[in-house]
Structure 1
C-alpha cells in the first residue's frame, strides 16, 4: 500500500468517526465517556494523518 492510499484510508476512518461522534452526541443513551473515547480515536487519526502528510 502506498503512502497516499494509506493516508486516504486514514481520512476515511476519520470521517466515519466524525459521523459517529455527531450521532453519539445526539443520542440520549450514549455516555460522555463513550463520546470522549470516540473523540480521542479521531484525534489520534488526525495526528497520524498530519504526521504522514508532513513526511510525504
Structure 2
C-alpha cells in the first residue's frame, strides 16, 4: 500500500466519522431534553475531524507552482 492509498483510506475513515457525528448531533437535538455539553463536545470533535480532513486533502493534492 503506497502513501497516497493510506492517505485516501484515512480520509475516508475521517469522513465517515464526521457523517456519524452529524447523525448523533441531529438525534440529540431532536430529543426533548438536550445535553448541551455533550452536543458541544460532538461539535468540537467534528471541527477537529474537518481540520484533519483538510490537511489530508492538501497532502493528496499535487503542489502547483503558480
Is the shorter-chain TM-score for this pair beyond 0.5, marking a shared fold?
yes
Higher helix residue share:
1
Q: How many residues align?
A: 56
> Please, which runs of 5 or more residues in structure 1 have no aligned partner?
none
Compare CA radii of gyration and give the structure with the larger one. 2
| TM superposition outliers: structure 1 runs of 4+ over 4 Å | none
Q: Please, what TM-score do these two structures have when normalized by structure 2?
A: 0.78
**What's the Cα RMSD here?**
1.2
- What is the TM-score with the length of structure 1 in the denominator? 0.90
Gaps of 5+ in 2: 61-66
